[in-house]
Amino acid sequence: MSLTFYWYPNCGTCKKAKKWLDEEGIDYKSVHIVNNPPSKDQLQSFITTSDKPAKKFFNTSGKKYRELNMKDKLKEAEEAEMLEWLASDGMLIKRPILTDGEKTTVGFKQEEFENVWSQ
């Protein structure tokens, strides 16, 4: 299973997730989510394989989210519009995202990681 770990190195949650992956001996490829944000197609795939709505992929505690008033914009937005916004700025994306192409987790909850990614 080839895992891709989308993260932002300054993010505390990402650091916790990375530490967990390393301690579990899980092999993954790191992608800096701000320097290399996922494309709209990749994001659509993450949404599909995570069983979570597009809204759950927004970093609601981020400065950029507040600056752009995303809370109000998301109320009326279609998924295609959300994908456009997410793909345009990696700081808008909730992180980390971990995927093997068949399943995807967004954010880090140790229990979820254990259930989904423990080998």
Residue 109 lies in domain: 3-117
> Cis omega (within 30 of 0) on the bond before 38?
no
Query: How many angstroms separate the Cα of 54 from the Cα of each of 10, 40, 76, 82?
Result: 24, 11, 13, 7
What DSSP string describes 45-61?
HHHHHHT--GGGGB-TT
Q: How does residue 64 score in pLDDT terms, banded at 50, 70 and 90?
A: very high
Provide the domain count of the chain: 1
- What is the H or E stretch that residue 19 is in? helix 12-24
Burial class, 22, CB count within 10 angstroms (exposed 0-12 / middle 13-18 / buried 19+): exposed
Total-model pTM: 0.94
| 86, burial (CB in 10 Å: exposed 0-12, middle 13-18, buried 19+) | buried
**Token digits for 1?**
């299973």
CATH number at residue 29: 3.40.30.10
Label residue 1 by pLDDT band (50, 70, 90): low
Mean pLDDT (the chain, rounded): 95
